[in-house]
Amino acid sequence: KAVIINGKEIANEIQNELRATVQSWINNDKKRPKLVAIKIGNDPASKVYVERKMKAANFIGIENYTIHLEENSSQQDLLKEIDYLNKDENVDGILVQLPLPKHMNEHEVCQAIVPNKDVDGFHLQNLGSLASNSNGIIPATALAVKELIIRSNIETFGKNAVVVGRSKHVGLPIALLLHADSRDEIGALDMTTTICHRHTPHTELEKLTKLADLIVVAAGIPGLITKEMVKPGACVIDVGITRIKIDNKYKLIGDVDFESVQAVAGHITTVPGGVGPITVAMLMKNTILAAKKNYDNLKSQ
């Protein structure tokens, strides 16, 4: 039976390290990092996610607040808020909780945040830095996958990886971090990496995942990965989150058929309690990185 990778435990470990980092800043007379979240509308899942992020920020000692905009706010209203925060020297990190209401353009909104405050790492400049192996701000989910691999001592050098999902915010950044050269600035993992997506025929997907030492699934399709698709001893990381309602209660489920895959895999993550909490911790790490960039920037002026 596979070893279950405990995402909550790893996240707590990271959060404690970050708390110590912030404390030592304060001891050196630097100001606390400051994070501002913007939430639009009343989506209950978004509310939970923003609250979790702010709870982690509080624990670590990151100053924070959340701006709530009405569902029917215009994109112009949102861009105005972002512009104001971009110019505020006291604000180190800005995050806009996705998804946005349908009348807004996600791409335009993500590009409006100045790259040095873009703690989600979704700005083209940050994604471009990642693609060219230089240090910008890397999307937190990709960092979370890398961090859990490293902290669980999973062998990666020269091994085969399959990433299922190619979105610009999740699947692609994960694949970039897995495949690139560990000698470059971003510290990637040197894996032979294949990206699969909705047009990969299922029979092909199965052929490829069966060769993989590491499978990362970020498709949002419950039960997509079953035990027939997994090489014995492989590491299976489930990024997918689908919210379903059972008996009037919401439940989160991943993309991996956990019970069956656990019997063949070497390591496996759960949903919830796997990648999710580590993603929140890595978002906080990005906020501290953004604060450092802001500090260096102000000092050089």
Residues forming the site for ligand NAD (CB under 6 A): 141, 164-167, 169-171, 196-198, 200, 205, 218-221, 224, 239-242, 275-276, 279
Minimal distance, residue 109 CB to ligand NAD, in Å = 15
Map residue 4 onto helix, strand or coil: strand
Is 257 part of the annotated catalytic residue set? no
Cα–Cα distance list, 159 to 72, 131, 153, 192 (Å): 48, 20, 14, 6
Minimal distance, residue 221 CB to ligand NAD, in Å = 5
Is 97 part of the annotated catalytic residue set? yes
Cα–Cα distance for residue pair 140/283, rounded to 1 Å: 5
Nearer to ligand NAD, 224 or 288 (CB): 224
Minimal distance, residue 87 CB to ligand NAD, in Å = 29
Cα–Cα distance list, 28 to 2, 33, 35, 88 (Å): 45, 13, 20, 23
Closest CA to 234 of 260, 253, 254, 262: 262
Nearer to ligand NAD, 183 or 198 (CB): 198
- Encode 108-122: b = buried (16+ Cβ within 10 Å), e = exposed: ebbebbbbbbbbbbb
Minimal distance, residue 261 CB to ligand NAD, in Å = 16
Is 181 part of the annotated catalytic residue set? no
Nearer to ligand NAD, 242 or 260 (CB): 242
- Are 174 and 239 in contact by the 8 Å Cβ rule? The answer is yes
Nearer to ligand NAD, 25 or 122 (CB): 122
Nearer to ligand NAD, 56 or 219 (CB): 219
Strands (E), 153-211: 160-164, 192-196
Neighbours of 67 (CB within 10 A): 16
Q: Which residue in the list 15, 39, 92, 97 is annotated as catalytic?
A: 97
**By 3-state DSSP, what share of the chain in percent is helix, strand and coil, each rounded to 5?**
45, 20, 40
Minimal distance, residue 86 CB to ligand NAD, in Å = 24
Q: Which residue in the list 92, 118, 120, 213 is annotated as catalytic?
A: 120
Q: What six digits make up the tokens of 260?
A: 């069956």
Nearer to ligand NAD, 75 or 200 (CB): 200
Residues 6+ apart with CB under 8 A from 38: 66, 67, 69, 78, 81, 82, 94, 95, 96, 97
Q: Which residue in the list 15, 34, 39, 53 is annotated as catalytic?
A: 53
Catalytically annotated residues: 53, 97, 120
